Structure 1
Amino acid sequence: MTDLLTMVSAAGPLAGGWGVHGLWMRRRLSAARRDPLSGLWTRAPFERRASRLLARHHAAVVLVDLDGFKALNDTFGHAAGDEAIRASAASLNDALAEKRGAVAARLGGDEFAAVVPLEEPFTLPWLLNGLHGAFTAPFTYR
């Protein structure tokens, strides 16, 4: 009996360590699937989620490319471009916050995508107007 208690007490910290390691790994994998600048999904996880969503629901697929992004980077520097990416991602998140099941991503560079479930097709113009307003709102860079 004491041998069993000795083994269990020795294995406890090891098992606890593996539990913490597993949690840490899950968080790291989740972080790797997100774009570090925008916090949005990257292409591969977005495509998996979008595919599942499109298989189950009527949805709008929205692709966004920021006009003048290269000129912004060339004129004001990469820090300004990074801020434009962050502001655009925040606008996209805000515009989709109440759209249950929506998934958004930064595909790369200045390209974004979203898939938004639509309960009624007639709501599409309101969705697109809201997204247009969110993306075209000015942002401040200092």
Structure 2
Amino acid sequence: MTATLAPALTAAAPLLGWATHGLWLTRRLATARRDPLTGLLTRDGFTTRAERLIRHNPGRVTVLLIDLDDFKSINDTHGHPAGDAVLTATARRLTTWCGTAGLAARLGGDEFAVVVLDHTGRLPHLREDLAQPVTYAGMVLNVSATIGASHPAALLLTEALSAADRDMYAHKPGRTTRRR
């Protein structure tokens, strides 16, 4: 009986190896598409999903670009762990605000992006949520964020992000000139 199983086991071994390798690669790709600090999507993971959301829901999507105001001063004054606490708090707040109707991503540094369905009227609530102080190591860190919004007429994420960037920059405190 063992002799009859040997050919089957020999044939199954490479399949098991490939299946294991495929699972490992899938997990590695999923990990690469998530920011390790905040758990949000990275730019690559966000782009694919956001483009799909825009394509399948034309006219219902709002694209937001969020930049934390004076974030460098938090890092410089209180240290990078305090800055990390602000970034993770921002990520939680964005995820909660989006719920199941959107995607949030950390694009890099203190810049975040969101694609959300039918949430235009709730934008003031997001501004309030992001302005809540963050407690870290017994300190209360005051935070604020500037948000730029766009409602893509076309189905291109890059154009929507550019429009949101221009809108955000126009609302940035202390800015007197526009970015190109």
Could you say whether these structures have the same fold, taking a TM-score greater than 0.5 normalized by the shorter chain as the test? Answer: yes
Within 1, Cα distance between the matches of 2:81 and 2:49?
30
The within-5 A match list for 1:103-142 is 103-118=103-118, 124-125=120-121, 127-142=122-137
Within 1, Cα distance between the matches of 2:107 and 2:91?
11
Show structure 1 runs of 5+ residues with no match.
none
Deviations 1:92-128 (A, max 9, x none): 111112x43x11110111000101012xxxx512x20
Within 2, Cα distance between the matches of 1:8 and 1:133?
63
Matched, 1:76 2:78: yes
Show structure 2 runs of 5+ residues with no match.
138-180
Within 2, Cα distance between the matches of 1:77 and 1:2?
64
Deviation, structure 1 residue 68: 1.4
Within 1, Cα distance between the matches of 2:29 and 2:55?
25
Letter in 1 for 2:85: E
Letter in 2 for 1:137: Q
Deviation, structure 1 residue 81: 0.7
Within 2, Cα distance between the matches of 1:84 and 1:16?
44
TM-score (normalised: structure 2): 0.68
The answer to which structure has the higher helix fraction is: 1
Provide the residue aligned with 1:64 in structure 2.
66
Deviation, structure 1 residue 45: 2.1
Letter in 2 for 1:54: I
Tell me, what secondary structure is at the counterpart of 1:114? strand
The answer to which structure has the higher strand fraction is: 2
Deviations 1:3-40 (A, max 9, x none): 66312123334432332222122111100011111111
- Percent identical: 47
Within 1, Cα distance between the matches of 2:5 and 2:43?
50
TM-score (normalised: structure 1): 0.85
Tell me, what secondary structure is at the counterpart of 1:62? strand
The within-5 A match list for 1:4-83 is 5-57=5-57, 58-83=60-85
The alignment's C-alpha RMSD in Å is 2.0
Deviations 1:35-91 (A, max 9, x none): 111111111221222122112212111111001100000001111111111110011
